[in-house]
Amino acid sequence: MVFDRGGYFRQVFAQIIAAGFDLLTYFKGSWARSGDESFTTVAFTTPDGTVAHYELAERSIELPVPARPASAAQPAETASTLGLRLIVRRGPSGHQTPILTNRTDLTAPEIAYRMAARWRQENYFKYAREHFALDALDSYADQPDDPDRLVPNPGKAQARNQVRDARAQLSAAHAEVADAIEAATTAARQPGSGGTATVDPAAGQSLTAAQNDLDAAELASRGTASHLPISAVRPGSRLLETERKLLTHAIRLSAYNSENALARLLRPHYPRGDDEARALLREAFTLPGDLQITGDTLNVRLDPASAPRRSKALAALCAELTDTQTRYPDTELTLAYSVKGHPRVA
């Protein structure tokens, strides 16, 4: 499971690992930077053939896991310690980025690559919502949610907002004190004042009250749990049928990964491939065409695309796909792709 600092919660780390999953995320909080002598420059070839260079350092880290509060279904858990790998990536500016994982079978460059490539997940969700109907209702059946599943506590956001407001009030109170001191200084310079003046005590009282309010707000925020069981936040919550949703999501993810692979093949043949490869593929998926069997070959002949340059790029993609000598499932027929009016691109 790969996620950024927004999902940093040590109790969840322990639950993920206990459930048999692995985690990969950024470290959050104070940490000791690695010395220059700890870093090694390594080259890593990514799955698409690109060579990436990283400056990496690695060490082990022990994270204390706070005790989980008791719930209606489970007793309180005692505090524990979680041993993880801390892999530090140093950028050209010298900035160090700490990465956490429990995986011991992957090299440090593989970890750095996977963490940097987590945006592929974000891209998938954004793209799938727009083009694959990711949020469509696949079934009306539902089931009870896990009452002990931890979710963000709305009260934590409210507590943080109160701290923010209290800090603003304290800043305003400091300004009022400065204004009161300045007014008293001006009054002390006036004739007949004897060179003295009294600072308005109300400003000092407001400052003391604002500081007390901030202390109380910070104390309340520290005492407010960041996550709570869903039974405490949304009692009676239910989930859509899991099995069908998982199946449809798997199909959508497979389609997205296939489109990714086709886009990588298409980009070298299309000048605007970095920006328009997926748009061209979406057009290609809807193009009419012909199927013709010649001997042991199944010819897939697409009609031309909306522009000659698009047809030319698709013809080059068809040539690459034909070269794979892929057989149509459950037959002895080899697939051959082409675009009408375009000779096979070498």
How far apart, in whole angstroms, are the C-alpha atoms of residue 205 and residue 147?
A: 47
User: How many of the other CB atoms lie within 10 Å of CB of 314?
Assistant: 26
User: How many of the other CB atoms lie within 10 Å of CB of 159?
Assistant: 21
In this prediction, residue 144 carries a pLDDT of 87
Domain boundary pick from 224, 247, 276: 224
Band (pLDDT 50/70/90 cuts) for residue 34 is very high
- What is the β-pairing status of strands 40-45 and 51-65? antiparallel
Is 108 found in the same domain as 14? yes
In this prediction, residue 72 carries a pLDDT of 47
Is residue 9, in this structure, part of any structural domain at all? yes
Is 183 found in the same domain as 113? no
Is 165 found in the same domain as 109? no
Is residue 273, in this structure, part of any structural domain at all? no
Q: 255: exposed, middle or buried (C-beta count within 10 Å: 0-12, 13-18, 19+)?
A: middle
Non-local CB neighbours of 48 within 8 Å, separated by 6+ positions: 264
For residues 60-76, give the mean pLDDT.
69
The per-residue pLDDT of the chain, averaged, comes to 89
- Phi and psi (nearest 5°) for 71? -125, 180
Is residue 130, in this structure, part of any structural domain at all? no
Is 95 found in the same domain as 158? no
Rounded to 10°, the helix 308-323/273-286 angle is 80
Q: Name which of 28, 31, 34, 24 is nearest 5 in CA terms.
A: 28
How far apart, in whole angstroms, are the C-alpha atoms of residue 265 and residue 72?
A: 54
Is 11 found in the same domain as 108? yes
Is 179 found in the same domain as 102? no
Q: Tens of pLDDT along 293-334?
A: 999 999 999 999 999 999 999 999 999 999 999 999 999 999
* Displacement of CA 83 from its chain's centroid (Å): 23
| Range of 49-53, 122-126, 229-233 with top mean pLDDT | 229-233
Domain holding 186, by residue range, is 154-224
Q: Is the pLDDT of residue 162 over 90?
A: yes
Is 16 found in the same domain as 113? yes
Is residue 249, in this structure, part of any structural domain at all? no
- Phi and psi (nearest 5°) for 133? 50, 50
Is 109 found in the same domain as 19? yes
User: How many of the other CB atoms lie within 10 Å of CB of 70?
Assistant: 10
Is residue 75, in this structure, part of any structural domain at all? yes
Domain boundary pick from 205, 224, 243: 224
Q: Is the pLDDT of residue 194 over 80?
A: no
Is residue 328, in this structure, part of any structural domain at all? yes
Long-range contacts of 237-242 (CB under 8 A, 24+ apart): 237/144, 237/145, 238/142, 238/143, 238/144, 238/145, 239/142, 239/143, 239/144, 239/145, 240/137, 240/138, 240/139, 240/141, 240/142, 240/143, 241/138, 241/139, 241/141, 241/142, 241/143, 242/143
Is residue 27, in this structure, part of any structural domain at all? yes
- What is the β-pairing status of strands 334-339 and 297-302? parallel
Band (pLDDT 50/70/90 cuts) for residue 184 is confident
How far apart, in whole angstroms, are the C-alpha atoms of residue 105 and residue 253?
A: 26
Is 187 found in the same domain as 100? no
Is 175 found in the same domain as 112? no
Helix (H) or strand (E) holding 332: none
Is 184 in contact with 199 (CB distance < 8 Å)? yes
Domain count, the chain: 3
In this prediction, residue 346 carries a pLDDT of 47
Is residue 110, in this structure, part of any structural domain at all? yes
Non-local CB neighbours of 110 within 8 Å, separated by 6+ positions: 44
At residue 285, the 3 state secondary structure works out as helix
